[in-house]
Amino acid sequence: MEAKPIPRWLMERYSLLWMKTKGKEFDFDLVVKVLKDKDKDERMMSVALSRMNKLGWLTVKINPKDSRKRIYQLKSPEEGTLEIAKTS
């Protein structure tokens, strides 16, 4: 899915996660650690991940070791902005 522009509140969370992961795969436990100062409620973290996924900035896979859990990976800022520029 091609990336679409994201709102500022979501870009702030994306940036924090990108600085920590640099495009590597991560799980929800890392999201909680990184965003705990920004979002006190884990439901808001889930909302942010869902929106990033719907807007094309995040991929989600099922964890092969535990199908109840997910593995996330962010699209690079360069790739996302190039995709936005192509569609504009």
- Flag whether 2 is in a domain: no
Domain count, the chain: 1
Q: Residue 31 maps to which CATH number? A: 1.10.10.10
Whether the pLDDT of residue 3 is over 90: the answer is yes
CA distances from 47 to 27, 35, 52, 71 (A): 15, 12, 9, 16
Spatial contact of 11 and 83, defined as CB atoms under 8 Å apart: no
Task: Give residue 29's domain range.
Answer: 8-87
pLDDT tens for 8-65 read 999 999 999 999 999 999 999 999 999 999 998 999 999 999 999 999 999 999 999 9
Whether the pLDDT of residue 88 is over 90: the answer is no
Q: What is the mean pLDDT of residues 75-82?
A: 96
- Flag whether 3 is in a domain: no
